[in-house]
Amino acid sequence: MEDYLREPPLSFEMALSVADEAVFSQTSRHLKNIEVAVLQGAWLGQSYDEIADRVGYAPEYIKHDVGPKLWKILSASLGEKVSKTTLIAVLSQKAKTETVKRASPPITVISESLTNVIPLDSSFYIDRYPVEHRCYEEIMRPGALIRIKAPRKMGKTSLMVRILAHAQQQSEKNALTVIPLSLQRADKAAFSDLDRFLRWFCYAVSRKLQTPHKIDDYWSDTFGSKSNCTAFFEDCILPDLEGSLILALDQVDEVFLHPEIADDFFTLLRSWYEEAAYGASGNPLWQNLRLIIVHSTEVYIPLDINKSPFNVGFAIELHPFTLEQVQDLAHRYRLSLSEQDLLPLMDLMGGHPYLTQQAFYHLTSQSLTLEPLIQTSATDEGIYHHHLHRLLQSLQENPMLGQAYEQVINVSTPIELDQLLAFKLHSMGLVTLQGNQVKVSCELYQRYFSDRLSGRTEWGKNDFM
């Protein structure tokens, strides 16, 4: 019982978040990569020589320039003297104060922990250092392209929202316009052919910008759909902007389902990226376009390597939480769980962010204690029953996918599947990829689907009704 009540130590990810937020609040800039490296080294108790060797800089530069300036700016931002030796104590106290100040009552936590996007002001968002900081730097580059990939409910959209928020915070200096656009909002009819889809795409962007342009006035029968779409951006979108445009495309997987559109649309995005990066057409306006592409699965449609946007730009793949990150999240929920308590949860959920948030919410609200939560997790009475039912329904509606997953859960070692089926199962978060093979991603899915899929001889529409 004493282990359960012991307060977990502050993780570096949380310490970095506290330091970076304080510096940004004071100076309107985030910590630089070299500053983060020095902060991490000091947190780990490394000497300046060790830090310099790790990051590839001269020891004198780290010791006499970066280090002193970092402690000075942290002291000013945190309102307390910070040095290499007092760093841990100061940030730990600051984190404790911020957690108490920002902690929300259980009724508010529901809206945060049970939705796909964690609000910007939430204390329950876990940084995946150095992912966020790299993205913040990259999005400020002219012609940037950031690709974010991860299975469903892994935090892709929450990361995208934070990248856009960072860009908006810088907009006073850089005149940035930000447009988030989920392709999941397009009706099925919009995907019936390329011309109709690109018209919808142009209209959606124009509507976000609240511009009065009528698509039909700029759509010529003489040219193809891609040329019309490009001309619309050149003539109507980019010239009317003050500064740059960040276009963030979420749920891009929707396009993968329509190969007759996908090849042309992704070729178009690649051509825009090249216009922005290299100025191939000589129109400097394209340098004002920056793209974020968010998707859940591997790109399984055949694309010419020279025309694909999925092998250029800055790529990010989000992974499950580490034990340290899970400890950090438990601390933010004010749960005093020891490492011994957390290891069964890690086995159960595989570090999946959404599943972990759900567990900690229910533990915080005192609707469950740890042991019953684990015991009932894979049942229809457990806290994950809605989530598990939705996955089961997806397997039911795609018998080939269900049969493939049945093969996975019935063996104890990774197996090889048809590539398309493997990618789809991975996008759902049901498997992890190991080269050309897959295995069940966590114990929760192993237990739940073993009871429901094993030994099934027929797959039909009503199998699970």
Q: What is the pLDDT of residues 181-233, one digit of tens each?
A: 999 889 989 999 999 999 999 999 999 988 877 888 889 888 899 999 999 99
| Prediction pTM value | 0.74
Report the DSSP beta bridge partners of residue 245: 177, 289
Q: How far apart are CA 122 and CA 115, in angstroms?
A: 12
CA distances from 233 to 190, 206, 218, 286 (A): 19, 9, 10, 9
Helices 259-278/225-232 angle, 10° precision? 40
Spell out the per-residue pLDDT of the chain, length 465, in tens.
333 333 335 667 677 878 877 887 777 677 777 888 888 888 888 888 888 877 777 888 888 888 999 999 999 988 889 888 888 888 888 876 654 443 333 322 222 333 468 888 888 899 988 899 999 999 999 899 999 999 999 999 999 999 999 888 876 656 788 999 999 889 989 999 999 999 999 999 999 988 877 888 889 888 899 999 999 999 999 998 888 999 999 999 999 989 999 999 999 999 999 998 876 666 789 999 999 999 998 887 778 888 899 999 999 999 999 999 999 999 999 998 999 999 999 999 999 999 999 999 999 887 778 999 999 999 988 999 999 999 999 998 899 999 999 999 999 899 999 999 999 999 999 999 998 899 999 999 999 999 888 666 455 544 433
Q: Strand 145-149 to strand 314-317: parallel, antiparallel, or no bridges (unpaired)?
A: parallel
Q: Give CA–CA dist 260/358, Å, rounded.
A: 39
